[in-house]
Structure formats: C-alpha cells, structure tokens
Structure 1
C-alpha cells in the first residue's frame, strides 16, 4: 500500500513561499521614503517655478518702465519755460520752486533702513519738445523767423506756410532762441503713488495729469531721479540717473526684489 504524501509537500531547496514580515516592513519603508523624496522634489520644483515667474514678471515690468523713462529723458532737456527751470527733481513729494502743484503723498515704502531698496523717493518733472504735426520728430525753427516748420498737410515737406502750421500756437509752445527747437508747455512728471488696489504703482503724468495719466508698472518700491547736483556730482554733467526698485511679496510672505539703473543724457545737454 502506497503512503499518501498529501499534506506533507515540501518546497524544493532554495525556494520560499512568500515575503517574511521583515521584508515587507523594509519594502514599505523604502517605498515611503521614495514617495516623500518625490513629493519634496515636486514641491521644490514648484517653488523654483514660482520664484522664476515672479522674478521674470518684475524684470519685464522694469524693462518696459525704464524704456519709457529713458525715451522721455533723451527727448527732454534743460530749459526755462513759463518761469520754471526744467528738469526739476524733488524729494518725497515735497515740490516747490513754482512746481507746488506737483506735490503729492508718495506711496509708503516697505523697505527698512539698511536694506538695499531703502532710500529717498525722488520724482522729476521734464519739459518735452513739441510734435504738433505728429510725425514723430520735434519741431524746429529752421529759418529763425520765430515760426517752426511743420508738416501739417502730411506731404512730407515741412514749411511755415499756413496750411502746414495750422496747429502752431505760441501760447502752447516756445521756440528756443539758440537751439531753435520748439518746446511744449505740456510737461511730463513721474511719481510713485498708491493705486486703486492698494498696490504701489509708477505713473507718468502729462501736465500733472490734466492731459493724461499712464500706469507704467506696479509693485514699485521707489524711484529716484538724480541730476549731477542731487547725485553729488558723481554722474556726468548734463546727464540724469534713474534708479527703479521693485519689491513684491507672494501669498506666503516671501519678498522678491529687482533693481534697474540707467544714466541718460538729454538732447540739449
């Protein structure tokens, strides 16, 4: 009679029927560690992307604003119009010397003493050359008769014929006696104020806002215009230096900063 082997099967040498409890614990631990590393890596990547986006936005905003400012400065000049000396710089909104109407309350600064973006809020008022015929070029009195040559009829040939100079009004612009350039009485000012949303914004005002206000950038901590005199003669004579500071906080309170600086020489300096 054959002996039954049911219930007495054994595994071949070197083979096992499953994982031991210790192996399972180790496996779960390794998986948990890997998962945590993946999560941390994902969070770090997300943070870096957020930081990169914030910095990129500030760089784009600062470049756009500075390009506009530099254009105005290059077009402007040192002139006396209506008894006022241009360019005029004033600190912390306290305008004087015939520019009292330009006084304002500057936007509050978050920077503290000792931080790189802490300092004076220095604004500016510029006089600008006239472009009455809208051809993108300043007018000039080429023949010195006190009347500028314009291209009012758009034929490409400036003259002081009535059809070309219909837009000319001596009460709104002045011919400089030496350069013969025509300077507009509508000036341009730059200020940093609190916007409707409570965020600091850099604005460009024509005739102190009476002829237009343009928001150039938001998140601006401060702006500082310097003439050679206000800069302690550390910049070239006849030039203007602009320092533009951005300071933005994200939802978690992290601070992001950006700074740009240019030195520009106005056209008649």
Structure 2
C-alpha cells in the first residue's frame, strides 16, 4: 500500500505545483514579449536614425560640390547667389524656381524653427560641353550660364513629406533629400562670422518611424565658392 501511494504521487502534479508552473510560464511569456518589443523599438530607432544620417550625408555632399563650382557674381544689377524663401525676387526672372510654402511642424523655441533661406545661383558656362568652364578671351574672367539658373528649395510632396529639390530653369528637377523641416543658407550679411564669399548650409530633418516616434537630425557645412576665400 505504501508503494502504491508513492507511485500515484509521482504520476501527477499537485495544485501548488501547477500554480507555480503556470506563474513561471506567464513570467517567461511576458519577458519574451517585452524583449521582442524592445528589440523592435531598437530596430526602428536604428533604422530611422540611420536613414536620416545617410540622407544628410548625401544631401550635404551634393550641395557642397555644386556650390563650390559657383561664385559670388554681379551681372548687371543682379547679385548672385540670390537668397529667397519660396519666391525669388522678380528681377531675377526665375518663376520656375518659385513654389508654395512647405508644411512645417516646428514651433517657436525649437532648434529647427524658422523660415527657409533658399538659394538661387549660377554655374560656369561650358558652351562646348568639354567639362571645362569657359573664360572671356578679352580678360580671362570666368563666364557664367545665365540661361540656366540652379536652386535648392523645399516643397511638400504629395505624400506629405517635405522634400529638398535641386531645380534648374530648363525644367530639370532632382530630389536631394526627404523629411526636411528646414533648409537655411547663410552668407556674411546674415552671419558676420562667415568669411567673404562663403556660405553656411544647414539642413534640419524630422521623421517618424512606424510607431509614430519622432526623430530629428541636423547637419551643416561651410562652403567656399569658386571665387571665394579659402576656409
């Protein structure tokens, strides 16, 4: 009889044992769920931040390379580059570069709050398309292509994302970056610490991940234009 009772006890679980086991399973399940959620958050954060950083790197590289070939030039009564917010001065005859104001979410006090300061500039002329800028044979000065102005502007796309565009008077347009909250180009008239004939380009980004979390990123660079002062 004694052996029979022992075998019965070994063949099943007591209520206490079942309760403890169930509690452990609940704790284990919760731990796994939290770990999975944490990994998902980390993956989303890493993905969004990496996306912004990569966009910033590429955009700044493109803009700096472009502006280095330009210069501070006065042709007639017009000074280049020309800085504007949405609509260039009518004297520049550049309606192709005008656009509606983009939608912004930054508020007063935010680092990225404020108007855009976009840029309209000239590139050297290359009539024979040999890759070498043309010079005036009379005095050796650099010649400029006044028929095809270039600008960097921010517009709100159909998807609701603010997009930084490189636009040309001849109709060419290229996306440089998305999720741009503010684009700001300063010269010495705005920022006295800048050297003559140099500009500072600032790009502020805002983006949300799939869970709605907002991320911000900022990049900037000083650019010495072709006929500017070396930094």
TM-score, structure 1 normalization = 0.76
Q: Is the 8 A contact 2:44 2:210 kept in 1?
A: no
> Distance between the aligned counterparts of 1:106 and 1:82, measured in 2?
30
Q: CA deviation at 1:105?
A: 2.2
3-state SS of paired residue (1:62): helix
**Residue aligned with 1:128, SS:** coil
Aligned-residue offset at 1:236: 1.9
Correspondences of 1:29-68 after superposition (within 5 Å): 29-68=23-62
1:244-259 correspondence runs (5 A) = 244-259=203-218
Q: Which moved more, 1:129-138 or 1:75-84?
A: 129-138
- Secondary structure, counterpart of 2:3 in structure 1: coil
* Match for residue 195 of structure 1 among 142, 145, 157: 157
Q: 1:82 deviation in Å?
A: 5.0
**1-side partners of 2:129 and 2:53: how far apart?**
31
Q: Deviations over 1:98-149 (max 9, x none)?
A: 23634432202111111121112111111111233333332234xx34xxxx
1:183 to 123, 131, 144: 144
Q: How does 1:64-213 map to 2 (within 5 A)?
A: 64-81=58-75, 83-90=77-84, 92-96=85-89, 98-99=91-92, 101=95, 102-141=97-136, 144-145=137-138, 177=139, 180-185=141-146, 186-207=148-169, 210-213=170-173
SS of the equivalent of 2:145 reads strand
- Return the structure number with greater relative CO, CA threshold 8 A, min gap 6: 2
Does 2:181 correspond to 1:226?
no
CA distance in 2, matches of 1:47, 1:206: 41
Aligned-partner Cα distance in 2 for 1:52–1:136: 41
Pairwise CA distance, 1:250: 2.9
When normalised by structure 2's length, the TM-score is 0.87
Distance in 2, matches of 1:135 and 1:244, equals 33
Alpha-carbon distance in 2 for matches of 1:77, 1:84: 13
CA contact (8 A) 1:106 1:121 kept: no
**Which of 21, 42, 48 lines up with 1:27 in the alignment?**
21
Unaligned runs of 5+ in 1: 1-7, 146-176
Q: Distance in 2 between matches of 1:197 and 1:36?
A: 38
What is residue 197 of structure 2 aligned with on the other side? 238
Number of positions where the alignment pairs a residue of Structure 1 with one of Structure 2: 224
Larger Rg: 1
Q: Which moved more, 1:119-128 or 1:76-85?
A: 76-85
Structure 2: 5+ residue stretches without partners: none
RMSD over aligned Cα, in angstroms? 2.3
